[in-house]
A and B are shown apart, each in its own frame.
Chain A
Amino acid sequence: MIVPLNHILLVAAALFFMGLSCTLVRRNLVMILIGVEIMLNAAGLVLVAGSAFWQQLDGQLMVMLIMAVTAAEVAVALAMVVYLHGRTGTIDVNTFKDMQG
């Protein structure tokens, strides 16, 4: 591979920033979850690049664990989205700013 490590890091940083800005700026619950997905993938790219750079498998193993954690997180979060939509009829996060606890 002829790609320098810092170029991969730059791509991953840009992806992470886009996910973060999506999470911060959008007011739609589904779009916020999509932003979280983008951030997790950017982290995975850094881990795989580090795994190749240092010729160790641990980074790739960590990506596998991240994928499992993401699947669990998405299952619960989307169930919660469906639940909130059933209760209030909207998934705009401004609706839920009065929530306590």
Chain B
Amino acid sequence: MASLLFYLLAATALLATLLCITRRSPVHAVIFLINAFFALALMFYLLGAPLIAAWEVIVYAGAIMVLFLFVIMTLELSPDSQRPALSRGQWAPALLLFLLLLVSAGLILTFDPASQASVPLFYASPRSFGAALFDRYGLAVEIVSFQLLFAAAGAYYLGRRRKAHQAEESS
């Protein structure tokens, strides 16, 4: 039952992502991506990561994608009028990577016996997650918090400078 649910969610995530990357309008793309993130969050839950699943919904779908929507609406972006350029120089690397993906998928499916084994049942409670995080990765938490602070300062700086620029032009 759980495996059937997993395959359904995987199909949902793949389909939503495919629709996302082919949309002309960035708003539609973001909505499809939020759909894919919900499916991914449930996959995380099935793989024994309830806290990560909650954060996927809260942080990714709730905060980051809404930030994307805000920017798209602020800039009043219109859908791409022209089709993506079909020049060979741009498609060649994508095709090469697709071939690499096919080859590696075939290798995974045929040769590697270790990965044929089922993923065992696993459940990481938020309590053990927090204990492991602050026991072993306390320094990483501090560095990440500094990084968020710097990012906030950088975003604030970029936003302010543009207003000053416009004020200069209009005066």
Contact = CB atoms under 8 A, between A and B. Distances in A.
A58 to B, nearest CB: 8
Interface residues of B, number: 86
Nearest to B64: A74
B170 interface: no
A14 B105 CA distance: 9
Contacts of B115: 4-6, 9
Most buried by A among B18, B52, B94: B52
B2 A1 contact: yes
A71 to B, nearest CB: 6
B132 to A, nearest CB: 4
Interface string A66-79: 01111111111011
Secondary structure of the B side of the interface?
helix
Contact of A1 (B94, B119, B136): B119
Interface of A: 1-11, 13-15, 17-22, 24-28, 30-31, 33-35, 37-38, 41, 44-45, 48-49, 51-53, 55, 57-58, 60-61, 63-65, 67-76, 78-83, 85-87, 91
Contact of A38 (B7, B21, B93, B104): B21
A48 to B, nearest CB: 5
A17 to B, nearest CB: 5
Contact of B155 (A24, A33, A61, A79): A79
Contact of A45 (B40, B105, B118): B40
Contacts of B33: 34, 37-38
A52 B21 contact: no
Given A11-B14, A21-B21, A38-B17, 8 more contacts: A18-B18, A52-B49, A60-B124, A67-B56, A67-B60, A71-B59, A79-B155, A86-B162
B73 to A, nearest CB: 11
A71 B80 CA distance: 26
A37 to B, nearest CB: 7
B108 A49 contact: no
Contacts of B152: 75
Contacts of B72: 30
Contact of B108 (A9, A24, A25, A37): A9
Smallest CB-CB A-B distances: 8 pairs: A72-B151, A22-B21, A79-B155, A79-B158, A2-B3, A52-B122, A6-B115, A68-B144
Of the candidates B133, B137, B155, the one having the most CB atoms from chain A within 10 angstroms of its own CB is B155
A34 to B, nearest CB: 6
